[in-house]
Amino acid sequence: MLERLLENWLDSASELSYQQVFVQMLSASGYTVLHSTRHCLLEFGKDVLAIAPDGVGCAFQLKGQPNKQMTVSEFRRDIQPQLVQLMSQPPAMPGFPPGIHRSYLVSNGSFSEEVQVAVSQMNTAPYPSKLELWSRGKLLDMALSASTKLWPSEIDDTRRLLDLYMADTSDQLPLGLLAGMLSSILLLDQRDSESAPPSVLELSRVSSSAMWATSIALSPFVLSENHQAVAVGWTVCRAMLQAMYEKNGGKWEVSHHFELAERAILDALAALWVEVSRRDHLAMPPGLEDSVIYGWRIGVLRGLLSSLYLANESQPLLPPEEHTDLGAWLMEERGAPDLWGEAAIACEFPPLLVLCKKGDDTRVADTLASLAATIIALNQADSRLALSSPYYDGTASFLAQMSLDVEESEKETFEGSSYMARVLLLSLAAIGEKSACKRLWRDFSKLSHRYFLHAEEWMYLVPTATQGQELTRIYPSTYEWSSLVSEAEGVGRIPNLPIWLLAMWWQACPHRASAGPWLSSLVSSRTQVTPDIQ
């Protein structure tokens, strides 16, 4: 079964969709990966740069040709000029070993005899580096070898991986399947009292296994160009790797996995921006059906692409003109957001951080006040339009609103309570909006305010925590302003993630857009105003 799955994957994968798995196979074979090219608006040459187990630098050029044989005409027209550069110039990459490097042309198809002869002739030329061909057979051998070390050991994890691989790639990512698989692989669902602490060697192995399994699971979504699913999937993997790292005291080197996962997220976000920026409109046929979810789509896109904008401020992902265009798209006035559920608030937080960094404090305050007023009004006890909790994604929220798939006796009620109203009101207090808080307080104090406290801090970075307390807070009808400000200042710390990645975590898991991490990010962004990049 394993070999059939890997063969199926190899025989359907594009260059982009097998690159992440190839990187994991190199790592499992003892290579140290230094660079994996972003297939987006900025590329840097060789697809993958790595150091072999014997210390020699290696440069890999990848081609995706599933079930095809590369002809000599294709080779000379499309690939040979790149290979001449690959063989004649050592990669200019920090950490790449000096001296003669090895060059590879990798394909998940095959090479015709004429191509092999042409490569032999190139290797007789006075280029410093010689070229080696790796075809489907070599990749399958590497995949099978890596799978013996990295394939999930539990039957349930294998089933989840197969279900993910066979999922509808035009739909949203089955987050529960991915999170369940990664929780098991990364030993996050084990209680400390149940087993001995894992060794450094075991922690390193399960980290690689999680990356490998995520790469395989998401490859069909990459092939279908479902950029949202790919970005969300790698975000969950990256966050849960961080959770495992913190749970086990940071005892081993995992930064290379962090970097590879972050690259995959940003690749997908950049590809999403390319698609959005090239479209005349964002409506999808049929128009009548699409009108129901159009507002949801815009909110999701703004949340994802604001995360890309925040990332671009700290590392060069987009050309300057694209960064400017992205900023302009994000700043367009689109009217009030479509609040299809409380989870929609998580989509609004990254654009607010962009506004903070641009110094537009007035628009930030107005938006927060408007969002707070809407949720407080809609979720009153006598409301018939109460918003679903942030644990409901878009699909679940629409089904809940239409009372579909749920027996009346099992329906969850949202009237009279809220998860996000408290977060928003504390946000207003944190930025000094006393009059807005005073105006909202009367109805705010009528709600039951719900939130979750994790048993341990690392559990914040797991989609479903197994330990903690669900709390409800009811505020008095009058409250001291100083007490509210103090509460806003003391709700928690920001997780050890870059701010753009934290914003992406809220897009993957809207119920994690809780008071502490959000308020810390809000205050931090307001003190780090950056000018527009021209």
Are residues 331 and 457 part of one domain? yes
Are residues 94 and 4 part of one domain? yes
Closest CA to 131 of 68, 32, 59: 59
Pair 80, 90: CB distance under 8 Å: no
Q: Which pLDDT tens digits describe the chain residue by residue (534 residues)?
A: 677 888 888 887 777 778 888 888 898 888 988 877 654 444 434 689 999 999 999 999 999 888 899 999 999 999 999 999 999 998 888 899 999 999 999 999 999 999 999 999 999 999 999 999 999 999 999 988 888 777 777 778 889 999 999 999 999 999 999 999 999 999 998 876 667 888 988 898 899 899 989 999 999 998 899 999 999 999 999 999 999 999 998 877 888 889 889 989 999 999 999 999 998 887 776 655 566 778 889 999 999 999 999 999 988 889 999 999 999 999 988 888 889 999 999 999 999 999 999 999 999 999 999 999 999 999 999 999 999 999 998 888 877 776 655 565 467 889 999 999 999 999 999 999 999 999 999 999 999 999 999 999 999 999 998 889 999 999 999 999 999 999 999 886 778 899 999 999 999 999 999 988 999 899 888 866 555 443
Are residues 207 and 249 part of one domain? yes
* Domain count across the chain: 3
Q: Which residue, of 149, 174, 189, is where some domain finishes? A: 149
Pair 34, 95: CB distance under 8 Å: yes
Are residues 28 and 108 part of one domain? yes
Assign residue 120 the CATH number of its domain.
Answer: 3.40.91
Are residues 167 and 25 part of one domain? no
Report the pLDDT value the prediction gives residue 309, as an integer from 0 to 100: 97
Q: What is Dmax (Cα atoms) for the chain? A: 85
Helices and strands (DSSP H and E) totals, the chain: 21, 10
Burial of 90 (0-12, 13-18, 19+ CB in 10 A): middle
Report the pLDDT value the prediction gives residue 534, as an integer from 0 to 100: 39
As a whole number of angstroms, the distance between CA 473 and CA 471 comes to 7
Report the pLDDT value the prediction gives residue 316, as an integer from 0 to 100: 81
* DSSP per position, 433-481: -HHHHHHHHHHHTTSEEEEEEESSGGGGGSSS-SSEEEEEE---SS--H
Are residues 493 and 472 part of one domain? yes
- 432 in a domain, yes or no? yes
Rg (CA), the chain: 25
Report the pLDDT value the prediction gives residue 45, as an integer from 0 to 100: 42
Q: Give the sheet arrangement for strand 131-134, strand by strand.
A: 32-36, 48-51, 57-63, 102-107, 131-134
Report the pLDDT value the prediction gives residue 44, as an integer from 0 to 100: 39
As a whole number of angstroms, the distance between CA 236 and CA 246 comes to 15
Are residues 169 and 125 part of one domain? no
- 335 in a domain, yes or no? yes
Q: Any residues with CB less than 8 A from the CB of 195 and at least 6 apart, and which?
A: none
Kindly report the pTM of this predicted structure. 0.88
Range of the domain at 63: 1-149
Continuous segment of H or E residues that includes residue 104: strand 102-107
Report the pLDDT value the prediction gives residue 505, as an integer from 0 to 100: 98
Closest CA to 337 of 274, 424, 460: 424
- 410 in a domain, yes or no? yes
Are residues 205 and 105 part of one domain? no
Q: Which residue, of 236, 264, 280, is where some domain finishes? A: 280
- 531 in a domain, yes or no? no
Q: In terms of residues, how long is the chain?
A: 534
Closest CA to 34 of 22, 18, 21, 23: 23
- 136 in a domain, yes or no? yes
Q: How far apart are the first and last CA of the chain?
A: 53
Are residues 488 and 357 part of one domain? yes
- 532 in a domain, yes or no? no
- 533 in a domain, yes or no? no
As a whole number of angstroms, the distance between CA 11 and CA 381 comes to 56
Are residues 295 and 272 part of one domain? no
Are residues 167 and 72 part of one domain? no
Q: Which residue, of 220, 248, 280, is where some domain finishes? A: 280
- 457 in a domain, yes or no? yes
Are residues 179 and 32 part of one domain? no
| Cis peptide upstream of residue 286 (ω within 30 degrees of 0) | yes
